[in-house]
Structure 1
Amino acid sequence: MDTGTHVVMGIALGGLATLDPSVTENSATINSVLIATIVGSQIPDIDTVLKLKNNATYIRNHRGVTHSIPAVLLWPLLIIAVVYPFFPEANLLHLWLWTFAAVFLHVFVDIFNAYGTQALRPFSSKWIALGTINTFDPFIFFIHVAGLILWALGADPGYTFAAIYMILIAYYIIRFRMQRKVYRTVKAMIPFTNEIIIAPTLRFHQWRIAAMSDENFFVGRANKNRITIYDKFNRVPMPNTPVLEAAKKDKNLSAFLSFSPVYRWEIDSYDKYYEVRFIDLRYRSNGHYPFVAVVQLDLNLNIIVSYTGWIFSEEKLRKKLDFIPG
């Protein structure tokens, strides 16, 4: 989920904790739990600082180790080590329980996004991305905001957020059933597909579709149960060529390939260089595919420049590459 949603979820969890008699027994426990749930709801995303290094490092590692099983167990201990000395009268066991709940909830809800997490590390490095909830879901965010407003107006925070989370459980079930219905519709429409990726959007009834058969890629959208296929590409196996093999050694392309499950590739030859481009097919927007990896190599197959990330125009891509016409 996005940062704002994680923040309001952390505060909400602190409010929900007031249903725990061991939390409400003294102000030290109440205050420490509220601080810990807010911090715990954020700390797995500390790897966002990797953006400051480069996109390749961020793409390869974001929601990886920091969202893993060891991290979910370690983060609460680190948070408590900082918070507890300020509240020595707090109930340590219940402070740990609610801090753990905040960290676990962060990782759990991220699994439902299209981006996903590597939540099963170290047992598996597979990305778990159920693709039922958008990274920012207006309903989830604003129902939390509504709960916070009711709390501020005097409503009991425990019962308020207990009711809200019951509603959200039903909401997640509805979203999952909607996605499965879209899946069945796509499968009936293109029965020879062997993989279908369905991702949510900001709009409740709209879903992105990327489907693969042995011979083609299909890219489209679903609006309720109406499926529109916008693009169809031939699925061409990657050749074992010196240019491509050299490009695959680049850190940006390597990061892209570690993350993207469905993409097409292009190789262009110019007078003084080659350009290899990989295009993720999951994020089509206004006829454009913004998530790419591009590698330029000289005629001796040395890498000149490369880039991976979100680019919404060819002009901006050329600026990123510091492009000099051949």
Structure 2
Amino acid sequence: MDTGTHLVMGLALGGLATLDPVVAGSAATATSVMVGTIVGSQAPDVDTVLKLKNNAVYIRNHRGITHSIPAVLLWPIAITAVIYPFFPEANLLHLWLWTFLAVFLHVFVDIFNAYGTQALRPFSSKWIALGVINTFDPYIFGLHVLGIIIWMLGGHPGYTFLTLYIILVFYYFVRFFTQRKVMKEVRALIPNATDIIISPTMKFHQWRIAVMNNNQFFVGRAHNNDVTIIDQFNRVKVPSSPVIAAAKKDENLSAFLSFSPVYRWEVDEYDNYYEVKFIDLRYRSKDHYPFVAVVQLDQELNIVTSYTGWIFSEEKLRKKLEIIPN
């Protein structure tokens, strides 16, 4: 989920904690738990700072080790150890329990996005991405904001957020059911599909679709379970040419390939350089595929410049390639 949603979830857990008699009976415990749930709800995304280094490092590592099983266990211990000295009268066990719940819930809800997490590390490096909830879901965020407003107006925070989470459990089941219906329609339309990726959008009834069979890629969308195929490409195996082999040594392209499960590729030769482009097919938006990796190489196949990330126009892509140092 996005940072704002994780923040309101941390506040909501702090309110829910008032149903815990130990928390409700101690001002120090209640305050420390609120701090713990807010910090715990944000902690796994500390790896966002990797974006300051470059997109390649960010793509390869975001929601990786910081969302792993060891991290879920260690974050609450570290956060509790920092908070507790400021609230020595707080109940240490309950501070840790509610902080742990905040960290666990952060990682758990991220699994439902299309981006996913490596939540099973170190046992598996596989990305778990169920693709039923958009990274920013206005209904989830809005319900949390509504709950916070009710709390501010004098409503009981515990019962308010307990009701909210019961509603959200039902909402998640509805999203799963809706995605399954879209999946069924896609299979009926493309019966020989080998891989189907259905990604949510911010609109409840709209989904992005990327499909592969042995020979083709299909890109489409679904609205109210009505599936429309928008683009269709022949599936051409990436060749083992010297140009491609040299481009794959680039960290930007390597990061892209470690993350993207469905893409097409292009190789263009110009007067004094080659350009290799890989295009992720999952995120089509306004007739454009914004998530790409591009590598430019000279005639001796030395990497000159490269870029990976989200780009929404050819002009901006050219500017990115110009400003990246050789």
TM-score range, shorter chain: over 0.9
For residues 15-63 of structure 1, what are the alpha-carbon distances to aligned partners after superposition, in whole Å with 9 as ceiling and x for unaligned? 0000001111210100000000000000100000001000000000000
Structure 1 counterpart of 2:286:
286
Q: What is the CA–CA distance in structure 1 between the aligned matches of 2:317 and 2:150, rounded to whole Å?
A: 46
Indicate the residue corresponding to 1:241 in structure 2: 241
Q: Secondary structure at the match of 1:261?
A: coil
- 1:146 is matched with 146
- Quote the residue 1:121 is aligned against: 121
**1:316 shift after superposition:** 0.5
Please name the residue that 1:35 is paired with.
35
Normalising by the residue count of structure 1, what TM-score does the alignment of the two structures yield? 0.98
Residue in structure 2 matched with residue 7 of structure 1 by the alignment: 7
**Counterparts of 1:104 and 1:87, CA distance in 2:** 23
- Aligned-pair CA distance for 1:318: 0.4
- Structure 1 ranges of 4+ moved more than 6 A: none
**In 2, Cα distance between equivalents of 1:123 and 1:26:** 40
Quote the Cα distance in structure 2 between the aligned partners of 1:91 and 1:322: 56
Report the 3-state secondary structure (helix = DSSP H, G, I; strand = E; otherwise coil) of the residue aligned with 1:284: coil
Equivalent positions of 1:1-326 (< 5 A) are 1-322=1-322
* CA displacement at 1:225 relative to structure 2: 1.3
**Identity across the alignment (%):** 74
Q: Alpha carbon RMSD of aligned pairs, Å?
A: 0.6
How many residues get paired?
323
Task: Show CA shifts across 1:200-256 (max 9, x none).
Answer: 001000000000000000000000111111100000011110000010010000000
| Separation (CA, whole Å) in 1 of partners of 2:225 and 2:312 | 28
- Distance across 1 between alignment mates of 2:190 and 2:150: 48
SS of the residue 2:322 aligns to: coil
For the residues of structure 1 that align with 2:87 and 2:48, how far apart are their CA atoms? Answer: 29
**Whole-angstrom distance in 1 between the partners of 2:72 and 2:155:** 32
SS in 2 for 1:254: helix
- Provide structure 2 residue ranges, at least 5 long, that are not aligned to the other structure: none
Distance in 1 (alpha carbons) for counterparts of 2:56 and 2:17: 39
1:259 positional shift:
0.3
Counterpart amino acid of 1:248? K
| In structure 1, distance between residues paired with 2:156 and 2:191 | 52
3-state DSSP of counterpart to 1:304: strand
- The structural deviation recorded for 1:68 is 0.4
Between the aligned partners of 1:228 and 1:237, the Cα distance in structure 2 is 26
Q: Which amino acid aligns with 1:188?
A: A
Quote the offset at 1:81 in angstroms: 1.0
- Secondary structure of 1:42's aligned partner: helix
Point out where structure 1 has 5 or more consecutive residues left out of the alignment: none
